[in-house]
């Protein structure tokens, strides 16, 4: 596919020219909305020569960056965690949809993860224990039985997916990079605890129900593991990613993970992302190694604010880098 129209008019102001090799990028949902299509093309295009979007988890940390480093991230990450029905029943409340809406109004790109509170089986002995109900150890919920359509657990999975669909419908005009069932292969979250097959079946259920039953055409589907046995397939995934929490001081390109993700898709042109990092990769190293990360997104709190993971002078250099795009450098990408 060739680009026929520029994605945004502000590009000239950045001194960036059209990338010659047009990059095919078509969402896996054939009914994807125009803003979702535009966003995927944008990510494929910018990443094709090593341009990376900056990202930050949580609005208050994005605001911290603006105030303390002088740059706002191009991407804001928020969590659907406390919209999980089991957590709402236990008293959780969330306003991350409001955060997403407010950042999108400023032109920011939005990505959602979902620390999905287990539909049932939460350990409620203390508030600390129920807080952890997205972890395998925080619940007795067993996906290998719940994924069977005849089981009571299946009805609860559907209940939860429908509850999240309701939240996603509130932002149906905003393209969203949706990253459900993250870090599944680690096994520390209940959705990964029963191995790859039940997890892939759950991903397929999510994809089918959100896309076909709820008609959520604003979603770009991001998968978050490099392990081949866990991959839902190129027909269900728009963006591939991993989460990397490298040792303190390691700001290398993570090129091995980049290549593993490329191989996972059979060397397709799907954008490849560092969906969560502790340490931001040094743009000089990613360019040198050819690790064309579409974006990286730093986790919240000390990961971004502290001196240990990303020292102040390093943060300033990274966000000022020509190959790292910030919020002010992506005008018009989000309509």
Helix 152-169 / helix 196-208 crossing angle, nearest 10 deg: 50
Kindly indicate which of the ranges 2-10, 86-94, 274-282, 296-304 contains the residues binding ligand NAG, using the contact rule CB under 6 A: 2-10
Q: Does 6 bind ligand NAG (CB under 6 A)?
A: yes
Nearer residue to ligand NAG within complex by CB, 11 or 275: 11
In the set 21, 67, 93, 126, which binds ligand NAG (CB under 6 A)?
126
Looking at the chain, list the stretches that DSSP marks H as alpha helix, in order from N- to C-terminal side: 34-47, 59-68, 85-89, 96-105, 127-131, 143-146, 152-169, 196-208, 255-264, 283-289, 302-305, 312-320
Residues 6+ apart with CB under 8 A from 12: none
Q: Does 21 bind ligand NAG (CB under 6 A)?
A: no
Instruction: Give buried/exposed letters for 27-39 (b at 16+ CB in 10 A, else e).
Output: bbbeebbebbbbb
Enumerate the active-site residues: 183, 276
DSSP letter for each residue of 91-158:
T----HHHHHHHHHHTT-EEEEE-----SS-B--SSHHHHHTTTBGGGB---HHHHTSTTSHHHHHHH
Kindly indicate which of the ranges 14-22, 55-63, 155-163, 202-210 contains the residues binding ligand NAG, using the contact rule CB under 6 A: 14-22
Considering the complex, what minimum distance in angstroms separates the CB of residue 58 from ligand NAG? Answer: 25
Q: Does 19 bind ligand NAG (CB under 6 A)?
A: yes
DSSP letter for each residue of 82-108:
GGSHHHHHTT----HHHHHHHHHHTT-
In the set 26, 121, 145, 187, which binds ligand NAG (CB under 6 A)?
145
43 and 294 in contact (C-beta within 8 Å)?
A: yes
* DSSP structural state of residue 37: H
Q: Does 26 bind ligand NAG (CB under 6 A)?
A: no
Q: Does 125 bind ligand NAG (CB under 6 A)?
A: yes
Number of residues that bind ligand NAG (CB under 6 A): 29
Q: Does 3 bind ligand NAG (CB under 6 A)?
A: yes
In the set 36, 39, 40, 51, which binds ligand NAG (CB under 6 A)?
51
Nearer residue to ligand NAG within complex by CB, 301 or 331: 331
Nearer residue to ligand NAG within complex by CB, 131 or 314: 131
90 and 124 in contact (C-beta within 8 Å)?
A: yes
Integer Cα distance of 198 and 76 in angstroms? 30
Q: Using CB under 6 A, which residues numbered 78 to 107 contact ligand NAG?
A: none
Kindly indicate which of the ranges 96-104, 108-116, 118-126, 183-191 contains the residues binding ligand NAG, using the contact rule CB under 6 A: 118-126
In the set 26, 49, 167, 204, which binds ligand NAG (CB under 6 A)?
49
In the set 1, 24, 31, 188, which binds ligand NAG (CB under 6 A)?
31
Integer Cα distance of 189 and 10 in angstroms? 42
Integer Cα distance of 264 and 227 in angstroms? 8
Q: Does 11 bind ligand NAG (CB under 6 A)?
A: yes
Q: Which residues bind ligand NAG (CB under 6 A)?
A: 3, 6-7, 11, 16-19, 31, 45-46, 49-51, 123, 125-126, 128-129, 142, 144-145, 212, 215, 263, 266-267, 287, 323
């Amino acid at each position: 596919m060739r680009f026929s129209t520029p994605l945004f008019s502000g590009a000239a102001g950045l001194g960036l020219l059209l990338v010659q090799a047009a990059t095919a990028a078509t969402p896996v949902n054939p009914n994807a909305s125009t803003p979702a299509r535009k966003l995927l093309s944008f990510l494929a295009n910018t990443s094709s020569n090593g341009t990376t979007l900056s990202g930050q988890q949580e609005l208050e940390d994005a605001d911290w960056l603006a105030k303390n480093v002088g740059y706002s991230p191009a991407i804001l990450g928020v969590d659907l965690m406390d919209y999980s029905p089991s957590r709402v029943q236990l008293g959780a409340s969330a306003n991350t949809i409001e955060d997403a809406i407010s950042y999108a109004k400023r032109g920011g790109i939005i990505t959602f993860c979902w620390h999905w509170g287990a539909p049932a089986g939460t350990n409620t002995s203390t508030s600390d224990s129920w807080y952890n109900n997205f972890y395998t150890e925080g619940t007795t919920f067993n996906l290998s039985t719940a994924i069977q359509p005849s089981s009571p657990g299946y009805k609860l999975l559907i209940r939860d997916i429908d509850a999240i669909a309701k939240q996603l419908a509130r932002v149906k005009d905003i393209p969203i990079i949706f990253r459900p069932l993250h870090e599944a292969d680690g096994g520390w979250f209940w959705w990964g605890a029963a191995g790859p097959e039940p997890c892939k079946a759950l991903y397929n259920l999510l994809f089918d129900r959100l896309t076909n039953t709820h008609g959520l055409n604003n979603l770009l589907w991001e998968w978050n593991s490099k392990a081949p046995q866990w991959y839902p397939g190129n027909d269900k995934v728009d963006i591939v990613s991993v989460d990397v929490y490298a040792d303190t001081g390691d700001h290398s390109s993570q090129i091995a993970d980049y290549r593993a993700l490329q191989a996972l898709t059979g060397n397709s042109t799907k954008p490849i992302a560092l969906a969560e990092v502790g340490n931001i990769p040094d743009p000089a190293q990613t360019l040198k190694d050819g690790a064309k990360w579409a974006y990286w997104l730093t986790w919240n709190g000390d990961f971004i604010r502290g001196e240990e993971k990303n020292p102040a002078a390093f943060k300033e250099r990274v966000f000022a880098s020509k190959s790292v795009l910030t919020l002010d450098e992506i005008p018009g990408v989000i309509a």
